[in-house]
Structure 1
């Protein structure tokens, strides 16, 4: 029992206090301190309780991070953005690397199609010297530099800048509007002066995909997971709309085009006659007929039916649609060297996958950071977030508006593939292999030091290109996603004549002087370290794969060839000088 103390109060009555009661009667200061201590204790208990409740709901508190649940990651695209930005960096890296290695030889002042001549003629045609006015016809930064004198420097500067920015994107998985816009402008600048070398559908596709990636990123932050900046679902939809148009466009152009797509025989020819076959193409070409028919049917399913899955509201079906498209592009990558086209086409399909499906690819720290960003996002919107929302809606409306002519083209019986409806190339039409060539022909350049090229005694030595078929014993190359622009255009030149391809005459002139820059574009110059040839000619050959087990194959031949005729008659440097001057090109000097 506690001790008691008896005291009299003011009225004289006896009051008994226990020591416990007395201990409760503190000085005012002691009471206040005790009260504060009790309050702090209660607050701490409440905080711990709230923290426990939050963790049960999958949320996080700073300093006690916990990864969000799988359900919370569904229809969330933070990780998707990282992968897309990295992948876009990879595409830009390859594209600018190709430019860095080849642009001066193709577009430089002494290139095969000099860009300074092209820009001067375009300026004369438009009728103005104001660079801002010229931008509407051909958007390129080269209007603002001295391209007549410093073209080669600026070609390298643009390419190097593109490589550096792309490397940052690839390594960091981050980017912002300024960085992505600059990268887009730089590549746009090359495409618009690239002439024949940049005239293919994947160049427009790079620009459209790059434009979408600008708005995928935050305005200023260079963080992988920028706070309060979730991936906009309008942008995710735009990527899906892009892959849908690419595949539907490719499928419709085939059905409306070559009969072999309807009678299921196109794959009998494709592997052998595609622009730049690889070693696997050789073996795929020799598959049974039934396999080739199955390949055509599979192609029609992937391009004409499977794209519908991309817009299914069911998450699983949408991911299935994306997976089918990625698998299809992977098959195309394995079966031929189609530049970086198929690698690029994989990118918009990545938008079919949300964070829940990609979480296994990332460490737990990234997932915890997403949870923290979700908490930040739940706070009242800032001014910058409101501005971004306006931009996102405007972006969506722009894509919708620019899609009208593209949709009209898709449903038209006169469908045009790989076309832009504006100089900015933001929304374009696509398609590939609407017609299939049934036989392969090649242009083979030859040189001689004989003064009488028409003599049967003249010895003609062949030039070998980097990748296109030449020597029948040389194995087909494997270079994708890298791309040799000269080899690619040589494939098209074989369908036509040299009059339609004046750059071929310029190429012959370069061979006649052993031009070092041009020599870097080919695999073998038979006159290297020797006097240049006195005459150059080009012959037309029919090429076909050797059959497995045949005498040619046992002899180490990948190809068989047969002379079709003369493509370019024997020409000397003197015979070509006036042609080169008339074209506005610099006449090559003999070594």
Structure 2
């Protein structure tokens, strides 16, 4: 199973959340045990690693990040472009260079603002949230950007977020001010026994995070940095990174089926399966799905710049399409054999895709993409040809209805 970087990030963010909130109160603002500063700093440490890891992997990875040319390609070649990316791709070269410089500043410079006092920490939170919003607008990167906003919120204190709460009556804001005033005067009520237990738990939690961070820091400092991995089985403290390399050309695997008896017959009619979001039909508008994640569409993006031998699951998918299996067909948008007999043959074709020019699209041809065939991706297969392939991997052979 492919484990995505944002899924590790979700595990770590959720684990920190266990220690952020009180365990046994329904009060909007608990009387005792406000969030531990250890937990708040654990969230800040998380956003620091996310952004710095992403920045370092870029500088150490693809040369285009150092040449300031990566954004010339990114919008067109990212996993699942959206309509905004279609127009952003046509920005002038100097704007793409400016975008790259801003990216380096946000990922390599801004993370250190966390350690420069309250105001700079607040500025860090603002810049990171704004950056993530821009990424949401320009791409379909699943729930990654939305999730990254969560630890950024830990960069704000009560004074910075006070405007979000009502100041009338004894609302949440007045309750917080009351607690802070009592703490400042040293007149708070004696802490219950449970609070001491919580303090011990928080200190133990801090020691655990520090211990598990050691290999992560070593990885960040290493010239052989790896991204989106973990050094512990529970994925509590992970290393992150994104787009360490940028593909310069977009290729797509187009899966086709035919009812012809002979797959090599020049007169055979091959019909294309349509996926929910990834490019396929040239007239299909790029989708807008963030924060949703179409896992199959993303896997198809990876498969397109590898071989089918490196992605055997795509042959498994072909077998399911040959049988018109409902579960597999639910993952795609268009089945050309719906209401018909299943195809006799399925094949994969390899295409190079480019964005059409906006002027051409407006002229009425309706094409968002243009494409050129590269060649076959995997040869025509039928259920009989796949029998040995499936048996060798202990996969159940799909059966046609």
Contact 2:114 2:121 in 1 (8 A): yes
Alignment of 1:302-321 (within 5 A): 302-313=106-117, 315-321=118-124
- Paired residues, number: 394
CA distance in 2, matches of 1:265, 1:238: 35
Question: Quick check: 2:28–2:172 contact (8 Å CA) kept in 1?
Answer: no
Mean Cα deviation higher: 201-210 or 352-361: 352-361
**Does structure 2 retain, via aligned residues, the 8 Å contact 1:247–1:431?**
yes
- Aligned residue number for residue 144 of structure 2: 341
State the distance in 2 between where 1:448 and 1:252 align. 47
3-state SS of paired residue (1:453): coil
State how far apart, in whole Å, the 1-side matches of 2:10 and 2:361 are: 44
The secondary structure found in structure 1 opposite 2:239 is coil
Q: Which has the larger radius of gyration?
A: 1
Aligned to 1:67: none
**Alignment root-mean-square deviation, CA:** 1.4
C-alpha distance in 2 between matches for 1:552 and 1:538: 31
Alpha-carbon distance in 2 for matches of 1:533, 1:443:
18
Q: CA deviation at 1:226?
A: 2.2
CA distance in 2, matches of 1:301, 1:317: 14
* 1:417-476 CA-partner distances (Å, limit 9, x unpaired): 111001011111111101000000000000000001101100000000000000000000
CA distance in 2, matches of 1:569, 1:552: 37
Cα contact 1:546–1:553 (8 A) shared by 2: no
2:133 maps to 1:330? yes
Matched, 1:564 2:374: yes
- The yes-or-no answer on 1:274 pairing with 2:274 is no
SS in 2 for 1:367: helix
CA distance in 2, matches of 1:440, 1:553: 24
Aligned to 1:370: 176
Q: Deviations over 1:118-164 (max 9, x none)?
A: xxxxxxxxxxxxxxxxxxxxxxxxxxxxxxxxxxxxxxxxxxxxxxx
Query: Within 1, Cα distance between the matches of 2:230 and 2:21?
Result: 25
SS at match of 1:537: strand
Q: Deviations over 1:237-284 (max 9, x none)?
A: 111111111111111111111110011000000000000000000000
Q: Does 1:219 align with 2:23?
A: yes
Q: Distance in 1 between matches of 2:361 and 2:201?
A: 65
2:296 paired with 1:493: no
Equivalent residue in structure 2 for 1:384, among 168, 175, 194: 194
- 1:361 aligned residue: 164
Partner of 1:533: 343
Asked whether 1:443 is paired with 2:253, we answer yes
| Alpha-carbon distance between aligned partners in 2 of 1:552 and 1:369, rounded to the nearest angstrom | 57
Matched with 1:589 is 399
Distance 1:511 1:422 in 2: 38
TM-score by length of 1: 0.65
Deviates more, 1:355-364 or 1:478-487: 355-364
Partner of 1:414: 224
**Which whole-Å CA distance do the structure 1 matches of 2:363 and 2:54 have between them?**
35
Matches of 1:213 and 1:479, distance apart in 2 = 26
Cα separation, 1, equivalents of 2:226 and 2:176: 43
Superposition deviation, residue 223 in structure 1 = 3.3
Q: SS at 1:422's partner residue? A: coil
Contact 1:546 1:552 in 2 (8 A): no
1:244 partner SS: helix
Counterpart of 2:34?
Answer: 230
- Looking at structure 2, the residues matched to 458 and 428 of structure 1 have their Cα atoms a distance apart, in angstroms, of 51
Distance 1:441 1:553, change over 3 A: farther
Mapped partners of 1:445, 1:386: distance in 2:
61
> For residue 68 of structure 2, what is the aligned residue in structure 1?
264
The match for 1:508 is 318
Cα distance between partner residues in 2 of 1:528 and 1:495: 29
Shift of 1:547: 1.2
Answer whether contact 1:337 1:478 (CA < 8 A) is retained: yes
Change (3 A) 1:553 1:563: farther
CA–CA distance in structure 1, aligned partners of residues 133 and 331 of structure 2 = 28
Structure 1: segments with no counterpart, 5+ residues: 1-194
Q: Which has the higher contact order (CA 8 A, sep 6+)?
A: 2
In structure 1, the partner of 2:7 is: 203
Q: Residue 54 of structure 2: which of 250, 265, 268 is its match?
A: 250
Matched, 1:580 2:390: yes
The 1-side partners of 2:73 and 2:82 are apart by: 14
Q: Secondary structure at the match of 2:359?
A: coil
Matches within 5 A, 1:398-437: 398-437=208-247
Compared CA separation, residues 205 and 304, structure 1 to 2 (3 A): same
Give structure 2 stretches of 5+ with no counterpart: none
Normalization by structure 2: what TM-score?
A: 0.96
Instruction: Report the counterpart of residue 181 of structure 1 in structure 2.
Output: none
Deviation at 1:345, TM superposition (A): 0.7
**TM superposition shift of 1:227:** 2.0
Query: How far did 1:305 drift?
Result: 0.6
Per the alignment, in what secondary structure is the counterpart of residue 256 of structure 2?
A: strand
CA distance in 1, matches of 2:205, 2:120: 26
For residue 9 of structure 2, give the secondary structure of its aligned residue in structure 1.
Answer: helix
What is the distance in 1 between the residues matched to 2:102 and 2:28?
A: 38
> CA, structure 1 residues 553+312, in 2 after alignment: closer, same or farther (shift >3 Å)?
farther
